[in-house]
Amino acid sequence: MSSNATRRMTGGQALAEMLKLHEAGPMFGMGGFQLLPFYEACRALGVQHMLINDERCGAFAADAYARVTNKPGLVDGTLGPGATNLATGLAEAFNAGMPMVAIIGDANRTHAWKNMTQEARQFDVLRPLVKEAIRVEVISRIPEHLRRAFAVATSGRPGPVLIAVPEDIAHGEHDFDAADFWVDPGTLRAQARRMRPDPQDLARAVAILAKAERPMVLAGGGVHISEAQDALTRFAEAQGIPVAHTMSGKGAIACTHALSAGVFGRYSRIANDLVAQSDCLLVVGCKLGEIATKRFTLMPAGVPLIHVDVLPEEIGRTTRTDVALVGDARATIEDLAEALRDGGKRVAARAGWCAEVPKRMAEWRAGARERLESVESPINVGRLLGELNKVMPEDAVLVADGGFAAHWGALFFDTKRAGRGFVADRGFASIGYGVPGGIGAQLGVGKGRRVVSLTGDGGFNMSMGELETARRAGAAFVCCIFNNAASGYVKALQHAVYGAGNYQSSDLVEIDYAAVTRAMGCHGIRVTDPEKLAGALREGLENTDTPTVLDIVVTRDPARMLPAADNRTLKVQKGDRPV
């Protein structure tokens, strides 16, 4: 497209115009002088922007929004501390493969490195934490740079892209060529630019899968990025293959499905035992990192492993791979399904293997009933997850903070349908994700669906100021706080490694968070009786006017804080990380 027409606008206006054309938003950020024209343009153009109280939380909210929509999350930060505060959230998105575009203000180039206020080597700080870093040096290239940012953010393994905008670029004016303001519709969301594996590699994988008697699928978060959950469910049913998942892969197949073996790795219901008995492992969209492999000890020797990943260099990085299928997860599963389409005989031959899954799962549930239905007080966290499984709607989303929230949620929460119904910040596993993650997820799924987030009192302390953001943004999610008056994961580890009573810097002051919540104009409920959990959860889910916080007083015993181990009997070897 070519045109002689020009559009005179500031660099900030050009940025906002390109975001609007990309159908992007909401954006989370806190303004400063460098990006002032950009903020004014967002107002004038109707680009949705949310003032955040802390830039790290803004990045977390953008990350959660990206997880439930597969559209790039948007965040901005001003020069200096605004930019550097984004570091943890960008690292989360980078490690997790979440599409994101982050815009930061930069110093006026005329006076840069002359002790400008708040100036720092912020670009160098953030560059290793993003998929690509772009510094705008020529104002006329802003449309090109924004297109590039969305293309990089949504293709291959998605990730965050950083755009640094100097003050003089944002405030400066330019006669832009009107023809430059266009977008590539294929890059508006992940997964962009799908690719398929090499046919020869596919044929080798098909041959192994066809003769396997006890195959298993190990699904990671890449299944959700690729939106491969429905294709995977159909494939598993058509071939008679059980499916286990990582924390991020929960929902790759509905947890209530007869072929769902639950989470595998450091936390496991029945999956790890099935992995040990399998004769073929098909790994889909999973990095096979420390948690998923129990520090690289889970995968059985001599069992063929087929690894599907969109990033070639990820295959073989941690675990020996027999067949590498480099490609998009959904496209690859569809190709495997087509090549193995006559699977009736295989399903019949694997009937006994598949029947083990619901049988063993029922046995696990019977053993877990003590925690899922516990009447003890202070409340057992397992009881909360048991009630959530009962009362959360099928299309609801559970957001889990780092630490205990993710661990308990991964082991005990059941998604009732395939899809991203469980959002956990497992890329970086940072504490403090629960509240901003709840905001981003609620804005992403819309008011017609409910979002519940889990966080500890430590995590809530880090981000409680964002309740004001949630109230202002109309993000009426439900936040459940595990109130154990401690940094519980650390205290449980100290108990396991050093013994009872040997705790350092892991205790918190007891706080009534329900009262704090009410003082902030939100709905707060303090729960000390496990029999009142269900009613409190329903009350929160029914409240769509303001955020609701459930301050749940849970066990204070560090020997009983871990979801899958009792520290009273746990034996820890020197140098070992048991949980």
pLDDT in tens, 462-478: 999 999 999 999 999 99
Last-in-domain residue among 325, 360, 395: 360
Provide the 10 A C-beta neighbour count for residue 359: 11
Structure-token match 């977008």, residue found: 183
Tokens encoding 178:
């009107």
pLDDT in tens, 220-233: 999 999 999 999 99
Let me know whether 549 and 408 are in one domain: yes
Let me know whether 235 and 335 are in one domain: yes
Let me know whether 391 and 280 are in one domain: no
pLDDT in tens, 128-159: 999 999 999 999 999 999 999 999 999 999 99
Asked whether residue 171 is assigned to any structural domain, the reply reads: yes
Residues 286/218, Cβ–Cβ less than 8 Å: yes
Let me know whether 417 and 528 are in one domain: yes
pLDDT at 573: 63
Let me know whether 379 and 442 are in one domain: yes
Asked whether residue 464 is assigned to any structural domain, the reply reads: yes
Provide the 10 A C-beta neighbour count for residue 272: 18
Last-in-domain residue among 150, 180, 210: 180
Strands 160-166 and 173-177: unpaired
Let me know whether 210 and 166 are in one domain: no
Alpha helices (H) in 127-242, listed in sequence order: 142-154, 167-171, 199-211, 222-225, 229-239
Let me know whether 523 and 429 are in one domain: yes
Banded model confidence at residue 1, pLDDT cuts 50, 70, 90: very low
pLDDT at 566: 45
pLDDT in tens, 513-560: 999 999 999 999 999 999 999 999 999 999 999 999 999 999 998 888
Asked whether residue 156 is assigned to any structural domain, the reply reads: yes
Last-in-domain residue among 360, 382, 415: 360
Let me know whether 167 and 221 are in one domain: no
Domain count, the chain: 3
CATH number, residue 257: 3.40.50.1220
pLDDT at 381: 95
What would you measure as the largest C-alpha separation in the chain, in angstroms?
Answer: 77
Let me know whether 339 and 391 are in one domain: no
pLDDT in tens, 284-338: 999 999 999 999 999 999 999 999 999 999 999 999 999 999 999 999 999 999 9
pLDDT in tens, 248-271: 999 999 999 999 999 999 999 999
DSSP lists the bridge partners of residue 163 as 103, 134
pLDDT at 3: 57
DSSP state of 139: G
Banded model confidence at residue 236, pLDDT cuts 50, 70, 90: very high
| Proportion of the chain above pLDDT 90, given as a percent | 89
Q: Which residues have CB under 8 Å from 559's CB, separation 6+? A: 492, 495, 500, 566, 567, 568
Asked whether residue 293 is assigned to any structural domain, the reply reads: yes
DSSP lists the bridge partners of residue 77 as 30, 104
Residue 548: give the domain boundaries.
374-569
pLDDT in tens, 19-31: 999 999 899 999 9
Q: How far apart are CA 571 and CA 566, in angstroms?
A: 10
Q: Which residues have CB under 8 Å from 301's CB, separation 6+? A: none
pLDDT in tens, 347-383: 999 999 999 999 999 999 999 999 999 999 999 999 9
pLDDT at 575: 60
- State yes or no: pLDDT of 571 exceeds 80: no
pLDDT in tens, 483-495: 998 988 889 889 8
Structure-token match 């159909």, residue found: 234
Which of 197-201, 374-378, 562-566 has the weakest average pLDDT?
A: 562-566
Let me know whether 155 and 205 are in one domain: no
Give mean pLDDT, residues 189-205. Answer: 97
- State yes or no: pLDDT of 2 exceeds 60: no
Asked whether residue 356 is assigned to any structural domain, the reply reads: yes
Structure-token match 């990085």, residue found: 317
Let me know whether 308 and 432 are in one domain: no
Residues 513/484, Cβ–Cβ less than 8 Å: no
Half-sphere exposure of 313 (CA within 13 A, CB side): 2
pLDDT in tens, 44-98: 999 999 999 999 999 999 999 999 999 999 999 999 999 999 999 999 999 999 9
Q: Which residues have CB under 8 Å from 565's CB, separation 6+? A: 496, 578, 579
Give mean pLDDT, residues 562-575. Answer: 59
- State yes or no: pLDDT of 417 exceeds 60: yes
Mean pLDDT (the chain, rounded)? 95
Residues 397/423, Cβ–Cβ less than 8 Å: yes
Asked whether residue 368 is assigned to any structural domain, the reply reads: no
Let me know whether 155 and 244 are in one domain: no
First CA to last CA distance, the chain:
58
- Burial class (CB within 10 angstroms; exposed 0-12, middle 13-18, buried 19+) of 389: middle
Q: Which residues have CB under 8 Å from 232's CB, separation 6+? A: 217, 219, 223, 243, 252, 253, 284, 329, 333, 418
Asked whether residue 367 is assigned to any structural domain, the reply reads: no
Asked whether residue 496 is assigned to any structural domain, the reply reads: yes
Residues 62/28, Cβ–Cβ less than 8 Å: yes
* Alpha-carbon radius of gyration of the chain: 24
pLDDT in tens, 95-133: 999 999 999 999 999 988 888 888 899 999 999 999 999
Q: How far apart are CA 400 and CA 426, in angstroms?
A: 9
CATH number, residue 37: 3.40.50.970
Instruction: For residue 217, give the nearest of 202, 205, 232 by alpha carbon.
Output: 232
